[in-house]
Every structure is written in structure tokens, then in C-alpha cells.
């Protein structure tokens, strides 16, 4: 399964993991995050897909809140939809502080990018 997002929506994806091709990806837009944060995000994503299956995405919504999405292929009968929602809620609870700091980071990143665009005009 290949997820192709372009434009603004792709810029909001922080990271993800795909159990179908056994890959983790991290958006280079957020490369300035500390290595330990990147490692934590990778662990969250990979463990999720190992336990649940499907594709895991960690992304910022339009208001800048970090959320988790889990997607399955149509013919994936091993995907655990109930487990996915339970695990999603558990991750949001367990990593509340980390996610809050990532949301602050994202807000700052948006401000910097906005200032840079204003300076180019």
C-alpha cells in the first residue's frame, strides 16, 4: 500500500509505519527534533503496526493537535480495528506530555515558516 499525499496535508504527517512493507518513515520537515524523540516516535509507530497491523500515521490536524490514524487495506482480515482504537487511546494517554511538546514545536515551526515566507515577499 502506498499512501500519496501532497501539499499541506503531507507536510502535517510527522511519521508513520507500514506493516505491509515493514517500513518506518519520518518526515524530514521535522528533522530538528532530538534523536531521543525520533526514537520514541519510531518505537510507538513500529510497535503499533506489529500489534495491530495496517498503516500507522502520526500527524497534526488543522488546529495543530497531534493525532494518530490507523488505516488498513481492504483485504486485510488480520487487522484488529477494535484493538487499533484501544491502542490509539492508550498511546494518546501514555504520551500526553510528549505530544503536547510536539504540538508546541509544530506551532513554533509554523510561525518560523510564516515569517520566512513574509520575508520572501
Q: What is the domain partition of the chain in residue ranges? A: 8-120
CB atoms within 10 A of CB 72: 19
The pLDDT tens digits for 22-70 are: 999 999 999 999 999 999 999 999 999 999 999 999 999 999 999 999 9
The pLDDT tens digits for 70-121 are: 999 999 888 989 999 999 999 999 999 999 999 999 999 999 988 988 877 6
Report the pLDDT value the prediction gives residue 119, as an integer from 0 to 100: 79
Residue 3: pLDDT band (50, 70, 90) is very low
Beta carbons of 99 and 106 less than 8 angstroms apart: no
Helix (H) or strand (E) holding 71: strand 66-71
Residue 2: pLDDT band (50, 70, 90) is very low
Which residues are CB-contacts of 51 (< 8 A; sequence separation ≥ 6)? Answer: 80, 83, 87
Report the pLDDT value the prediction gives residue 41, as an integer from 0 to 100: 97
Report the pLDDT value the prediction gives residue 116, as an integer from 0 to 100: 87
Instruction: Please state, in angstroms and rounded to a whole number, the distance separating the CA atoms of residues 106 and 110.
Output: 6
Amino acid at each position: 500500500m502506498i499512501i500519496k499525499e501532497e501539499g499541506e496535508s503531507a507536510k502535517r504527517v510527522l511519521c508513520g509505519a507500514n506493516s505491509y512493507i515493514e517500513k518506518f518513515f519520518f518526515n524530514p520537515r521535522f528533522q530538528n527534533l532530538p534523536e531521543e524523540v525520533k526514537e520514541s516516535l519510531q518505537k510507538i509507530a513500529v510497535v503499533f503496526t506489529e500489534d495491530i497491523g495496517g498503516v500507522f500515521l502520526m500527524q497534526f490536524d488543522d488546529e495543530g493537535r497531534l493525532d494518530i490514524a490507523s488505516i488498513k487495506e481492504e483485504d486485510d482480515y488480520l487487522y484488529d480495528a477494535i484493538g487499533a482504537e484501544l491502542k490509539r487511546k492508550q498511546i494518546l494517554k501514555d504520551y500526553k506530555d510528549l505530544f503536547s511538546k510536539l504540538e508546541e514545536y509544530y506551532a513554533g515551526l509554523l510561525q518560523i515558516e510564516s515569517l520566512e515566507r513574509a520575508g520572501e515577499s
